Copies of this chain bind each other. A is one copy, B any other.
Amino acid sequence: MAKKVTIYDIAREAGVGIGTVSRVLNNNPSVAPETRNRISEVAKRLSYQPHTYAQRLARQQSETISAVIPFFTSYFFMEVLRGVQEKVSEFGYDLVLYGVEHADQAENYVAKALQRGKVDGILFFSMKMPDRVLSMLKESNLPVGLVDSVSPSFDSISVANAEGAYAATSHLVELGHRKVGMLNARSVSTPATERLQGFRRALEQQGIPYSDSLVKCGKSTRHDGFNRDSGYEAMMDFIAMGSEMPNAFFISSDIQAFGAIAALNEKGFRIPEDIAIVGFDDIELARLMRLTTMRQPMFQMGVLAIERLVSRMSNPDMEILHTTFSPTLIVRESCGAFMSSEGMPSTKSRLR
């Protein structure tokens, strides 16, 4: 280990008291300029590095923000995390990541985090937490931010899931499709249920009868069903419907859409000629695959989440803010929009 240099060493070397050294290090104004210089110089010469944990213990705060995330390995979270990471280091905080499988694990973590000084703020991602935990959090007075979920008592950043699903579905219907289905994720996920609502509403609004047989979810439970296999399985189920099968699908995430496309390809369906598809998220691969989808400003959500959290940390009485982003429809080729508008299929399709 690098030999420790403490403020005592500096104090001795500079012929002052430790209090003065500390004041210099913390830019406390009440130090004579001359003394300040001398101390700064000694500190640099000894290449002093403060002991973070000692500081945190003494200051009673952690300079740490932690993010509790269900599965930080999904494309969606990765993208949001990029924004988070960028801002966190800009503000000079540490980022501690906690990957959890379910909300109850989060609860477990909350208990640990609540000890004063462990973290200065927490961000929860896509977690529907039990009321008990929520109120624990609330009375703890710890700054908390919610991303991709909402609760009245905390700041939140979210996406208008229902609205997005509504737009996606409507787009399909406007393209002339009457038999449109949905591939959803698991209903334990709030975004999934919200997207289902949007889907239903769009159908009803367009005078198309809704039926439960119109929405399917694969059996793969990883990432709450937001995964490729789930999409593959659900689409296979649809294909098994035979002539009853819808010919247009709103799919609740791009990654599921890719699974669905694989299933479709395997069974000889062409996209968009035979089947139209619109996804959700607009992950990088969606552009590559020419997938029509609803874009969520993931990076930006991460950035905003930290900005909001930091301002709440410095001003706890700030009024609670809820920000909802509206996803925007990105029309590419998988929905067949170009085909119908231009009268012929695009020659550039990468979808089969």
Interface size class of A (residues with CB under 8 A): 35 or more
Q: Mark A112-134, 1 if CB is under 8 A from B, else 0.
A: 10111110000000000000000
Residues of B within 8 A of A81 (CB): 72-73
Contact status A2-B228, CB under 8 Å:
no
The answer to whether B348 and A350 touch across the interface, beta carbons within 8 angstroms, is no
Q: Which residue of B lies closest to A99 (CB)?
A: B85
| Residue from B96, B115, B141, B284 in contact with A94 in the complex, judged by beta carbons closer than 8 Å | B96
- Judged by a CB distance under 8 angstroms, whether A266 is at the interface is yes
- Give A339-352 as 1s and 0s: 1 = Cβ < 8 Å from B's Cβ atoms: 00000000011111
Select which of B86, B141, B349 is within 8 A of A1 by beta carbon: B141
A352 to chain B: closest residue by CB: B350
Contact with B along A94-110 (1 / 0, CB 8 A): 11111100000000000
Binds B, one of A33-41, A48-56, A165-173, A304-312: A48-56
Q: Can you list 20 A-B pairs with a CB-CB distance of less than 8 A?
A: A1-B114, A2-B114, A49-B112, A49-B115, A51-B115, A52-B118, A53-B56, A53-B57, A53-B62, A53-B118, A72-B81, A72-B82, A72-B85, A73-B78, A73-B82, A85-B97, A94-B96, A95-B97, A96-B96, A350-B351
